[in-house]
Structure formats: C-alpha cells, structure tokens
Chains A and B, each alone.
Chain A
Amino acid sequence: MRGWQALFYKEVLRFWKVSAQTIAAPVLTALLYMLIFGHLLEGRITVYDSVSYTAFLVPGLVMMSLLQNAFANSSSSMVQSKMMGNLVFVLLTPLGPVSWFAAYVLAAVVRGLAVGLGVLLVTMWFAPLSFVAPVWILVFALLGAAMLGTLGLIAGLWADKFDQMSSFQNFLITPMTFLSGVFYSIHSLPPFWQQVSHFNPFFYMIDGFRYGFFGVSDVSPWLSLSLVAGAYVLVAALALQLLRSGYKIRG
C-alpha cells in the first residue's frame, strides 16, 4: 500500500465509523425534502413537458446531497484535525502535497457518492425515473463530488475554527446549491435571475447531472462539462498550491 492510500483509507474509515451521522442523516433530510416538496408542488409546476415535478426533483436532491456531503467530508476532517492537533501525525510523514490532495479529495468523493446513491435509492420510488445517458450521470457525479471535496479541502485549510467553517458552509455552499436549480428549472425564473444563475457553477453540475436522467437540460451538457471541468482545474490548482506552500499548516 502506498502512503496516500493509507491516508485515503483513514479518511474513508473516519466517516464510515459515524455513518449514521455522515450518510444516513443526509439521506433522511433529502427524503423529507422529497416528501414535502414533492407532495406540495407535484402538478403545480411543469418544468419540462415530458418530466413530472417529482421526477425532476430526484436528480436535484441526489446532486445537492452529494455536493454538500463531499464538501462536508474534507472540510470537517481538516478543521477537526487542525483543531485537535492530530494533523501533526500526517504532517510528520513523507506524504507530499499530491498524496494529501488525492487522499482527502477521493475520500470526499466516496462520501458524496455514498450519500448520493442513498438519496437516489430512497427517492426514486416517488416517480418514474429514466436513465437516458448514464455516462453523463456518472461524469457529473464524479466531477461534482471532486469539485466540492476540493473546495472543502481549501476551506478546511483556510478555517482556523469551526465557526469560520460553518460560515463558509452556511453563507456560500448552501445558498449556491439551493439556488442552482435543485427545486426548479432556471427557465422558470425572471430573465435577470436566469442570468445570475448562469454565474453559479453549481447550476451547471446539477443541470448536466439531470441531463443524464432525462436527456433534457437548461443548457447543453457539453457546455456544463467544459465549464465545470475548467473550474475544477483552477480549484484543484489552488488546493495543490496551498498544500505545497503549507498554508496555515506549516507555520
């Protein structure tokens, strides 16, 4: 086993040991959204002609949970290790920046996918669901989880305390996921807010992901893929640079 694999395995075991909190709880939350929004809005909103509102909601909820939990995994692990001081065990090892990056981001991807799959399994019974282009589903799930896992790593390196971390989560990640078209198509918005939504990177992740299910989307999945992939390269480069310089972890 290579060094980074040990760190990756440790990071996976860390959330797996408390899976009631890290997997079951977000799945339950998504189920509640489905019960309430699906019940209230089914039949009142038409998003795409061919797709019921409840069916439309499923991929949105899956992706939202996946993104939020990928972010939560790397960010909370990093902040916790920094605050408890046990990050020193990793700092003292010959693991380089790329190993850190791979371990933290991949563990976040695993957590994101596990939660996403859980949400899919409990919500897919509410509406007939199609899987028109499974490769797009997988590509956007992986890329979205990696993106948020990487953002979580950056936020975890940056934050010195839990309250800074939760500001990051509450004032940035949660609004951006909620306003990305989880619960609605941005075409239902006034033109101004449609324009604003196009600046939200989360919109493209959810829109591309949804395309994989229904074969319809607000923008072309290729556009979404290139924007998300392009943004990911920048975010990953930033995370690697922070790790290389020892930002806030090697004084």
Chain B
Amino acid sequence: MSAISFQSVSKNFTNARGTFTALDAVSFDIQAGEFFGLLGPNGAGKTTLISILAGLQQASSGRIEVQGLDVKTQALQVRKLLGVVPQELVFDPFFTVREALRFQSGYFGITNNGAWLDELLECLGLADKAHHNMRQLSGGMKRRVLVAQALVHKPPVIVLDEPTAGVDVELRQTLWQFIARLNREGHTVLLTTHYLEEAEALCSRIAMLKQGKVVALDDTSSLLKNASSNVLRFKLDEQLPPELAAQARVTGRIVQFPANDAAQIEHYLAAVRSAGLVAQDVEIRKADLEDVFLDVMGAAS
C-alpha cells in the first residue's frame, strides 16, 4: 500500500477572468519510507497539491489516499497520519514555543508527550527558546517551530512545503539531519523545495510539476543518468553572440553549455574564440539536478 496515492487530481479556480487550471490530472504514488521530492517552478501547483492532500483545499476531481484512506471522506483519520509543515511562516502570537507545541499535541488528543517535545526542541535547536513568546523569534526560529508543530504526533507521513525558503545554512543542516533521521526510522517524507541541490542530495525519487501537470517522475539517479552527461562551464566578461547565447544558460558572467562529448566541448570553445571572446575558469562538470530540471521544463513548454 502506498503512503500517498495521487489519483488524477485536478483543481480549477474560477475567477472574474475565467477558469484557471492549477492541477491537471496529477497521478503518482509515494511508497512507504520514501524520501520523495516534488519540484517545479513557482505556480506549478505544488502547494495546491499539498493543500488538497492536507485537507486545506478540495480537489475539483480525482482523489488522494494516505495509507489507503481517502483524504476527503476519511479526513479526520488521514490528518492523524500527516504532519504538514506549511509554506507560509505563520504563528500564534499569544503563546510561547512550548505552549504552541503542547496545544498542537492536545489537538491530536495527546498530553503525555513531554519527552518527545523536549527531543523536538533539542533536535531543532529550539531548547533555549522554549519559553520565549513566538513574537520574539526570528524568521528562522519560527520556521523551526513550524517543523516541530508538524511533528508533535509523530506522523508516519511528513510533508514539508519549502521548509528551507529563506533560512540560513545552519538551520538547513540541522533540519535535514533531523528529517533524514526520521526517514531512516521509517517516516515517509514528501518535500517541495526550490533548492535543487537539496532535492538531489536527499530525495530518492522525484516528480516535476509544470503548469499543473507531471512532466517528469523517476528515481533521482535515473533522472541524472538520462540528462546530458556533462556541462561546459566558463566565465566571460563580454556578451555572448546571440546565436550562441540561445544554446547556453547564462547567469551573469557564468556561461554553461550542455555537452555530451569532447567534440561538442571543442565546438563551443572554438565558437567563443572565433567571436573574439576569452573564456576564463573553464571547467567541465557532471550534469546535476538543476540541469535536468531546466531540460525538463524547457522540453515541456
């Protein structure tokens, strides 16, 4: 039985300008114990999909099951299985960190989980903030509390919607160590993120969404294997001629060409030289998830 099963999930929003399709028959399964990445550009429908999973929105059609339970008709049982870290940095200004965690536990009918709350505070670097009011915490600290709140009931399925958006390196390290540990202990993890190196490092399988459709779904290793195997990367002080720029990915001074073999690498370098430009810091690297992502998104348009 899958931990999560998305079955032809569609969501349409109707407003004054007409109907907008946020999700278009999205189908895929996440197996128990997987660390699964859901990637896609802004507006691809990731958060909408997670909101429907969490019961915060309703699908226009299709269904979602969590451990075989329908999120719509068996919503209350499903919510016991899910621990959702919302993307928005929200908090209740009336309470301290520990109060927030105690209330959150209480909503699940749990009262005697003090040791687990201590562990959550410890593992997320919040121990010294336990009695601080939520208002006094920095953005990064509030984000940690969101993670802790989602985990008070030790849910078998953990859903993280861009948990590292705008947080510092230290928290990312702490967070991923902890989530990876929970994953090793058997918790299923569904992650959305814009940091593709995080997804590459953590996720064993990945789905990519674009404009509400699944445009890639595979093991992370297979996705990387099928991509252009190498990337030629160098820096330029001048502008690349337009016909070359069209084939390259240019980020400020950094120019990157997908290249499958030595001939292609020589071809690009020669083209740059004959344009009268000097390539600096030339290197050839293996394609990473970002290259795959851009390939997939480019091909899908």
Q: With a CB–CB cut-off of 8 A, which chain A residues contact B84?
A: 92
Q: What size tier do the contact residues of chain A reach? A: 20 to 34
B94 is an interface residue with CB less than 8 A from chain A: yes
Q: With a CB–CB cut-off of 8 A, which chain A residues contact B99?
A: 13
Instruction: Tell me whether A88 and B109 are in contact in the complex, defined as CB-CB below 8 angstroms, given that A10-B103, A13-B94, A94-B79 are known contacts.
Output: no
Q: Which of A1-9, A123-131, A146-154 contacts B (4 or more CB under 8 A)?
A: A1-9
A246 is an interface residue with CB less than 8 A from chain B: yes
A233 is an interface residue with CB less than 8 A from chain B: no
Beta-carbon contacts of B93-111 to A below 8 Å, as 1s and 0s?
Answer: 1110001100111111101
Beta-carbon nearest neighbor of A93 in chain B: B107
Instruction: Tell me whether A84 and B93 are in contact in the complex, defined as CB-CB below 8 angstroms, given that A1-B111, A94-B108, A250-B57 are known contacts.
Output: yes
User: In residues 140-158 of chain A, which contact B (Cβ within 8 Å)?
Assistant: none
Which of A3, A17, A90 neighbours the largest number of chain B CB atoms within 10 Å of its CB? A3
Beta-carbon nearest neighbor of A84 in chain B: B90
The listed residue (A17, A86, A246) touching B90 by CB distance below 8 A is A86
A2 touches B57 (CB 8 A): no
A94 touches B80 (CB 8 A): yes
User: Once bound together, how far apart are the Cα atoms of A224 and B233, in whole Å?
Assistant: 83
A17 touches B94 (CB 8 A): yes
A2 touches B94 (CB 8 A): no
A91 is an interface residue with CB less than 8 A from chain B: yes
The listed residue (A1, A10, A94) touching B76 by CB distance below 8 A is A94
A91 touches B106 (CB 8 A): no
The listed residue (A2, A9, A85, A96) touching B109 by CB distance below 8 A is A2
The listed residue (A3, A81, A246, A250) touching B106 by CB distance below 8 A is A3
A230 is an interface residue with CB less than 8 A from chain B: no
The listed residue (A5, A13, A89, A91) touching B104 by CB distance below 8 A is A89
Instruction: Tell me whether A3 and B108 are in contact in the complex, defined as CB-CB below 8 angstroms, given that A84-B90, A84-B93, A96-B76 are known contacts.
Output: yes
User: Once bound together, how far apart are the Cα atoms of A246 and B55, in whole Å?
Assistant: 10
User: Once bound together, how far apart are the Cα atoms of A86 and B142, in whole Å?
Assistant: 12
Q: What size tier do the contact residues of chain B reach? A: 20 to 34
Q: With a CB–CB cut-off of 8 A, which chain B residues contact A92?
A: 54-56, 79, 82, 84, 86, 150
B92 is an interface residue with CB less than 8 A from chain A: yes
Q: With a CB–CB cut-off of 8 A, which chain B residues contact A246?
A: 58
Q: With a CB–CB cut-off of 8 A, which chain A residues contact B58?
A: 246, 250-251
Q: With a CB–CB cut-off of 8 A, which chain B residues contact A18?
A: 94
B106 touches A1 (CB 8 A): yes
User: Once bound together, how far apart are the Cα atoms of A91 and B50, in whole Å?
Assistant: 13
Beta-carbon nearest neighbor of B82 in chain A: A92
A95 is an interface residue with CB less than 8 A from chain B: yes
The listed residue (A17, A85, A95, A96) touching B88 by CB distance below 8 A is A85
Shortest Cβ distance from residue A36 to the other chain B in the assembled complex, whole angstroms: 34
Q: With a CB–CB cut-off of 8 A, which chain A residues contact B105?
A: 6
Known: A6-B109, A89-B107, A94-B76. 16 other contacts (CB 8 A): A3-B109, A13-B99, A84-B93, A85-B88, A86-B92, A88-B88, A89-B103, A89-B149, A91-B54, A92-B86, A93-B107, A94-B79, A94-B107, A96-B76, A246-B58, A250-B57
The 7 A-B pairs at the shortest CB distance, nearest first, are namely A6-B106, A85-B90, A93-B107, A94-B76, A251-B57, A86-B92, A94-B79
16 contacts between A and B (CB under 8 A): A1-B111, A3-B106, A6-B107, A7-B106, A10-B106, A17-B94, A85-B90, A90-B107, A91-B54, A92-B55, A92-B79, A92-B150, A93-B107, A94-B107, A95-B76, A250-B57
- Residues in chain B within 8 A of chain A (CB atoms): 51, 54-58, 76-77, 79-80, 82, 84, 86, 88, 90-95, 99-100, 103-109, 111, 149-150
